[in-house]
């Protein structure tokens, strides 16, 4: 893959892969452009791949995209660059002579990565465990492509507030019984991204129709819109004969204990990621609210800056 070395998406993907270091595929550009590319690429790399994932999981502070080999990582990054920028064929844009296009593509990638999980005011602060891992701590790359597509859709339709309104129940549902691995298993993770986005929208739709959160998945399964899906059957631990705990069981035990104790956003009720939060004035400054501990509450950056108002 990625034969074209001078295409803006190819250069952007390689810059993100190396966090702006290593062989400089962008060395023909002006110094100013080179610096800009390296800076943005490093930011994107941090937002998506850090902190490094340890196995078995012993912290909820995990990256959006878990451990991958270098070639897998490059593939994921290139897909990310292409999805965010609506590029359908790798060399569709031709070569980038000045670096302008590469910077433009990187900036949109940074915008989406910041939206997912950062301390930027636009950040939804999606908890990586809830959105991008199974309850045994396995990374779900299909959910990454799906969430990116979902975010682009909410951006286009200006409907982030719809998610915030139902976020607490939305997260309860995707964590209890996530259909994404099944939806993705029928094609490639990248190709399934629109279906995953539709699955998320469907959940919000059901919640909007006042369907009880416990029945949302049942209804979606019954509608067969996503083909035949199976609702979660109990973990078949009775089949395990070994006396040792597997990595998955260790991770699952940790997550089961740790996640319910995670702080939640006081505005939408969704989980707060480990390093992302915003301190909100319960009583607004404009209404005379003071900077006292009593008047402080933890929220997602987006909920504080935009949703509340
Ligand atoms: Zn919130």
Taking only the tens place, the pLDDT of each residue in 109-120 is 999 999 999 999
For residue range 81-119, what is the model confidence (pLDDT) as tens digits? 999 999 998 889 999 999 999 999 999 999 999 999 999
Q: How far is the CA of 307 from the centre of ligand 1 (A)?
A: 8
Segments making up each domain of the chain, as ranges: 1-123
Q: How far is the CA of 304 from the centre of ligand 1 (A)?
A: 7
Q: How far is the CA of 279 from the centre of ligand 1 (A)?
A: 11
Within a 13 Å sphere around the CA of 219, how many CA atoms are in the beta-carbon half? 16
Q: How far is the CA of 278 from the centre of ligand 1 (A)?
A: 10
User: Is the pLDDT score of 2 beyond 70?
Assistant: no
Q: How far is the CA of 268 from the centre of ligand 1 (A)?
A: 4
Length of the chain, in residues: 309
How far is C-alpha 198 from the chain's CA centre? 16
Q: How far is the CA of 117 from the centre of ligand 1 (A)?
A: 12
For residue range 33-60, what is the model confidence (pLDDT) as tens digits? 999 999 999 999 999 999 999 888 999 9
Q: How far is the CA of 302 from the centre of ligand 1 (A)?
A: 7
Q: Which of 185, 120, 182, 180 is nearest to 150 (CA)?
A: 180
Contacts of 262 (CB under 8 A, 6+ apart): 60, 127, 271, 272
Q: How far is the CA of 281 from the centre of ligand 1 (A)?
A: 14
Tell me what the mean pLDDT of segment 131-141 comes to. Answer: 94
What's the CA gap between 155 and 157, in Å, rounded? 6
- For residue 107 the two structure tokens come to 């900036």
Q: How far is the CA of 237 from the centre of ligand 1 (A)?
A: 35
Q: What is the secondary structure of 156-170 as a DSSP string? A: HTT-HHHHHHHHHHH
Q: How far is the CA of 26 from the centre of ligand 1 (A)?
A: 39
Tell me what the mean pLDDT of segment 175-199 comes to. Answer: 92
Q: How far is the CA of 152 from the centre of ligand 1 (A)?
A: 19
Tell me, what's the pLDDT at 230? Answer: 87
Q: How far is the CA of 277 from the centre of ligand 1 (A)?
A: 9
Q: Which of 222, 216, 308, 210 is nearest to 268 (CA)?
A: 308
For residue range 262-306, what is the model confidence (pLDDT) as tens digits? 999 999 999 999 988 889 899 999 999 999 999 999 999 999 999
Tell me, what's the pLDDT at 102? Answer: 97
Q: How far is the CA of 263 from the centre of ligand 1 (A)?
A: 11
Q: How far is the CA of 127 from the centre of ligand 1 (A)?
A: 11
Q: What are residue 74's phi and psi, to 5 degrees?
A: -60, -40
Q: How far is the CA of 289 from the centre of ligand 1 (A)?
A: 20
If one counts every other C-beta atom within 10 angstroms of the C-beta of residue 58, the result is 13
Q: How far is the CA of 122 from the centre of ligand 1 (A)?
A: 11
Tell me, what's the pLDDT at 75? Answer: 95
Tell me, what's the pLDDT at 238? Answer: 54
Mean pLDDT of the chain: 93
Q: How far is the CA of 140 from the centre of ligand 1 (A)?
A: 23
Tell me, what's the pLDDT at 228? Answer: 87
Q: How far is the CA of 244 from the centre of ligand 1 (A)?
A: 39
- For residue 55 the two structure tokens come to 């196995």
Place of tokens 């396995």: 138
- Asked if 198 and 254 count as a contact pair (C-beta separation under 8 A), the reply is no
For residue range 226-274, what is the model confidence (pLDDT) as tens digits? 888 888 755 545 567 889 999 889 999 999 999 999 999 999 999 999 9
Q: How far is the CA of 165 from the centre of ligand 1 (A)?
A: 9
Q: How far is the CA of 239 from the centre of ligand 1 (A)?
A: 40
Tell me, what's the pLDDT at 276? Answer: 86
Q: How far is the CA of 303 from the centre of ligand 1 (A)?
A: 5
Q: Which residue has the higher pLDDT, 112 or 225?
A: 112
């Amino acid at each position: 893959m990625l034969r074209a070395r001078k295409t803006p998406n190819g250069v952007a993907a390689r810059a993100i892969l190396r966090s702006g270091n290593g062989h400089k595929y962008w060395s023909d550009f002006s110094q100013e452009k080179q610096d800009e590319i390296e800076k943005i690429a490093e930011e994107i790399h941090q937002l998506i791949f850090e902190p490094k994932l340890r196995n078995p999981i012993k912290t909820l502070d995990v990256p959006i995209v878990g451990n991958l080999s270098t070639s897998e990582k490059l593939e994921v990054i290139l897909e990310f660059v292409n999805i965010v920028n609506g590029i359908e064929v790798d060399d569709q844009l031709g070569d980038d002579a000045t670096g302008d296009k590469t910077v433009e593509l990187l900036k949109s990638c940074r915008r989406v990565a910041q939206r997912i999980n950062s301390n930027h005011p636009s950040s939804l602060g999606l908890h990586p465990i809830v959105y991008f891992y199974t309850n045994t701590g396995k990374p779900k790359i299909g959910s990454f492509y799906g969430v990116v597509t979902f975010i682009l859709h909410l951006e286009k339709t200006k409907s982030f507030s719809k998610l915030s309104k139902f976020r607490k129940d939305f997260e309860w549902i995707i964590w209890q019984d996530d259909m994404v691995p099944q939806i993705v298993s029928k094609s490639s993770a990248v190709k399934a991204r629109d279906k995953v986005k539709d699955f998320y929208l469907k959940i919000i739709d059901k919640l909007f129709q006042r369907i009880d959160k416990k029945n949302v998945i049942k209804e979606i399964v019954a509608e067969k819109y996503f083909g035949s899906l199976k609702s979660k059957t109990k973990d078949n631990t009775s089949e395990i004969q070994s006396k040792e705990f597997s990595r998955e069981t260790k991770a699952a035990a940790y997550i089961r204990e740790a996640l319910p104790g995670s702080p939640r956003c006081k505005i939408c009720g969704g989980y707060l990621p480990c390093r992302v939060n915003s301190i909100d004035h319960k009583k607004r400054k404009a209404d005379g609210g003071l900077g006292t501990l009593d008047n402080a509450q933890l929220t997602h950056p987006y909920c504080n800056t935009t949703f509340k108002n």
